[in-house]
C-alpha cells in the first residue's frame, strides 16, 4: 500500500483538487483508493460526496475513540472511498497538543487497511494534523502554483519533513515529487519553472496542471474532473498525473522494500 500526503503549507495551490482528481485518476488505473480528508474546510468531502461537514468524521478517530472503518464512505467515484472531515478539525491541533504520541494517531488508525493507495488531503499549515498525515505517509506530493511567490515557504516544508523523518524515526518518508498547478504559459511561469528545476532536480514531475474552469465546475457538481469533463485540459492533465504518480510510487515501493531487507 502506498500512502501519499498532499502537502504544502501555502494555501490556494490546489491540494484538495489534486487529492480528489488524483484519486479518481488512480481508480481509473484499476487501483482501490482511499481519500482521507484532514482539512477542516472539508472541501474534498464535499467534492466527492456532496455532503457538508458530516458527523462522525476523521475528527472522531483522531480526537475520540472511533475506529476508522466506522467512518468510511463510498464516494461518487467508483473504486474511491473517503474518510470525511468536518469543521471540528479546525480545533484538533489544540485538542491533540498535550496527548502523547499525537503525531501517530492517523498512522495507527490506517494500519492494516487494504487499499492500493491512500491519498491524504491536508490543511494549509504544518501543525499536528499535517504531521499526522506525514507520519502516516510513505510519500509526499507537493503541488505548487507557478507565481513569483510560489517558492516562499517551501524550505519550511522541507525542513518539517526532515525533522519528522529524523525525530519520529520515519526513514522511508520521501518527497515523491513536486508539480505545477494553475499553469499558464507566461514569462513568470517559465521563470518559476526554471527555478523549480534547479531546486528540485530529479523530483520535478513532468505533469503541469493548467488553469481550467472545468476543475471548479466539477467540484461544484460533486464529481472529479475525470467524470465531469475528461477531455478537458484539466481532465487530461490529472489523468497524466495519475499515470506518472503510479509509475514513481511503484519505483519508490521497490526502494522501500530493498531498504527494509
E-strand stretches of 76-154: 80-83, 117-121, 139-145
2-260 domain in CATH 3.40.50.300? yes
The per-residue pLDDT for range 218-237, each reduced to its tens digit, is 999 999 999 999 999 999 99
Helix then strand count (H, E) for the chain reads: 11, 8
- Whether the pLDDT of residue 258 is over 60: the answer is no
The per-residue pLDDT for range 146-196, each reduced to its tens digit, is 766 666 667 777 887 888 788 778 888 889 999 999 999 888 888 888 888
Is residue 80 a contact partner of residue 35, using CB atoms and an 8 Å limit? yes
Is residue 37 a contact partner of residue 85, using CB atoms and an 8 Å limit? yes
Query: Which percentage of the chain shows pLDDT scores above 70?
Result: 93
Is residue 140 a contact partner of residue 5, using CB atoms and an 8 Å limit? yes
The model's pTM is: 0.93
Instruction: Return the DSSP state at 170.
Output: -
The neighbouring-strand residues paired with 259 are: none
Task: Read off the C-alpha cell for 233.
Answer: 485540459
Amino acid at each position: 500500500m502506498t500512502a501519499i500526503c498532499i502537502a504544502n503549507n501555502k494555501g490556494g495551490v490546489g491540494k484538495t483538487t489534486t487529492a480528489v482528481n488524483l484519486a479518481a485518476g488512480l481508480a481509473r488505473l484499476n487501483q482501490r483508493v482511499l481519500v482521507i480528508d484532514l482539512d477542516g474546510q472539508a472541501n474534498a468531502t464535499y467534492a466527492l460526496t456532496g455532503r457538508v461537514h458530516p458527523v462522525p468524521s476523521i475528527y472522531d478517530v483522531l480526537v475520540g475513540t472511533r475506529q476508522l472503518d466506522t467512518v468510511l464512505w463510498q464516494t461518487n467515484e467508483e473504486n474511491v472511498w473517503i474518510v470525511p472531515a468536518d469543521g471540528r478539525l479546525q480545533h484538533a491541533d489544540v485538542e491533540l497538543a498535550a496527548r502523547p504520541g499525537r503525531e501517530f494517531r492517523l498512522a495507527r488508525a490506517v494500519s492494516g487497511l487494504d487499499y492500493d493507495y491512500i491519498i491524504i488531503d491536508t490543511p494549509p499549515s504544518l501543525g499536528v494534523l499535517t504531521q499526522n498525515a506525514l507520519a502516516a505517509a510513505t510519500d509526499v506530493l507537493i503541488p505548487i502554483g507557478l507565481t513569483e511567490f510560489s517558492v516562499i515557504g517551501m524550505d519550511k516544508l522541507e525542513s518539517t519533513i526532515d525533522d519528522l523523518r529524523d525525530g519520529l524515526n520515519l526513514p522511508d518518508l520521501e518527497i515523491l515529487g513536486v508539480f505545477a498547478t494553475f499553469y499558464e504559459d507566461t514569462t513568470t511561469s517559465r521563470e518559476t519553472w526554471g527555478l523549480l528545476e534547479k531546486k528540485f532536480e530529479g523530483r520535478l514531475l513532468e505533469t503541469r496542471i493548467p488553469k481550467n474552469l472545468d476543475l471548479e465546475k466539477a467540484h461544484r457538481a460533486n464529481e472529479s474532473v475525470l467524470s465531469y469533463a475528461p477531455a478537458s485540459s484539466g481532465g487530461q492533465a490529472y489523468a497524466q498525473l495519475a499515470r506518472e504518480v503510479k509509475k514513481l510510487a511503484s519505483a519508490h515501493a521497490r526502494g522501500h522494500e530493498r531498504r527494509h531487507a
